[in-house]
Chains A and B, each alone.
Chain A
């Protein structure tokens, strides 16, 4: 237990400081240090008409929830406000916002014209008495209002942290219902925050481990529709799907796209032995990458497409290995105690997230791509299957509770090990895959 606590504390070493002295620009440096969430205010946006007023409130609430959800920001409640923002172009009363210690202020205006919604917003550095970069605006249809709020929040996050955001993104996952021994699974897709859930398959066949294409328009997943596990590719917009052909007597699973979206790397089992293969999606041409009697599975490409990290039990227990994307010699990178699986290369290329099983517990962890600086971010009866946020700062994963009533649900955790949060889904959820930022 002590050892576990120590490793968790080590995991906390990567943290956030608010670098904001009186005369310096507002900035959160996501670096090592002590976290003190940055206080901000998002007054309800200013509606241009009665028709826009409810939307104006809702938009501001989603922006605030996105920012607060990162753990890097703390919202100051409206009840503490001294001044109200009643006109988008009215001068900001900086003294009133300084008095309640709102370091960042987000103001917005909403125009509704028929089904068309336009959102304008500005981000203010309160203690510098000025706007952070010019304001922006987004337009769209009314039913896409949450996306507009996420885009505003992404812009605010980027301006203050200097890093890309992740709020205007989607998650494809496996929706689960029913008891453990009769679990029904179907593919679902939702916004990153659990809203706008849509189902992509029914639950007539087991479906597993969906993965987005690099552009987010297609999803690879494993389905038992034929009675055997086979990889399917689904067009998200059209909800059309097709099976990637594989030979009779084989099983294929654990697919992932290459960064160019042309190739899928996956596991194929034949005669009890599981190895890694690639297949060109357009031509169906397959290439074998490994030929060993051990299990090779859970492959994931580096962002440059040059390397593959995967899981193999060739040493006797499951461990992580890196090899060239065309196969060949593999280098073991995991050397800690326990069993390692489901490695996933971060979108920044700097880290590999993984599942670790040790002493009867499961962890989500990260390590550098050479295996150094391992940090465990979570611990529970069963955590598995990490997926990276588009900016490489947050990991979503599956947590399953123990026992007869065991249930799977989705969680997120910051790569510092902070800010562990459940993601609300209508039913149980597993195998999340985070999309890239939407265009």
Chain B
């Protein structure tokens, strides 16, 4: 399929880019490929805090897009590796949109974004049964200005850990 070939290309790119890409929002520059101790702000590398801050819990998207750019793929690869190491955790991937666009369309767009992240994690070996998706459309912005600087951070897919496998 189209998506699969895109993903395998993405994986090749990520392998080269992983060392230099950081997660989109965090100041920490750590991408932890091996799942061993990293330099994140949370001391315990198997903690959700470490996942959130050091691995990076979110990826960002271009306007109207749900394709994963290099930075997004690097972050998701690190997420996949963390999830493969820390098998007690499940995750819900939240897809979000900026406020430009109607409520209904943004719900559908958020679903596309969350699913793009989920598909990537599955392609790296994370069991689909551990990964749920939900779209919030434009209902839950993290930044509230009506400028591209805010919009860019609101167009996101966030991997939210749940403490243990559910269903």
Contacts and interface: CB of A to CB of B under 8 A. Distances in A.
Nearest to A253: B107
Given A180-B144, A181-B144, A403-B145, A274 B103 contact: no
- Select the residue from A208, A254, A269 with max chain B CB neighbours within 10 A: A269
A248 B128 CA distance: 13
Nearest to B114: A272
B119 interface: yes
Interface stretch (A145-153, A231-239, A377-385, A421-429): A377-385
18 contacts: A180-B144, A206-B139, A229-B107, A229-B134, A249-B132, A249-B133, A254-B104, A254-B107, A267-B108, A269-B108, A272-B111, A272-B119, A273-B111, A341-B101, A342-B104, A357-B101, A385-B102, A403-B144
B76 interface: no
A253 B138 CA distance: 14
Given A254-B104, A342-B102, 15 more contacts: A206-B139, A229-B134, A248-B167, A251-B107, A269-B135, A272-B112, A274-B108, A295-B105, A297-B105, A297-B108, A298-B105, A313-B105, A357-B102, A382-B99, A384-B103
Interface string A266-279: 01010111100000
Contact of A272 (B66, B99, B104): B66
B101 A180 contact: no
B142 interface: yes
Contacts of A385: 102-103
B142 A229 contact: no
Nearest to A403: B146
Interface of A: 179-181, 183, 206, 208-209, 227-229, 248-249, 251, 253-254, 267, 269, 271-274, 295, 297-298, 311, 313, 318, 339, 341-342, 355, 357, 381-382, 384-385, 400, 402-404, 406, 431
Interface in B116-166: 116, 118-119, 132-136, 139-146
Contacts of A355: 102
Contacts of A206: 136, 139
B109 interface: yes
Contacts of B66: 272
A249 B107 CA distance: 15
Contacts of B118: 272
Given A269-B111, A272-B115, A403-B145, A341 B134 contact: no
B134 A251 contact: yes
Contacts of B39: none
A321 to B, nearest CB: 14
Contacts of A318: 102, 105
A398 to B, nearest CB: 9
A183 B136 CA distance: 13
A315 to B, nearest CB: 13
B103 A209 contact: yes
B20 interface: no
Contacts of A254: 104, 107
B87 interface: no
B27 to A, nearest CB: 21
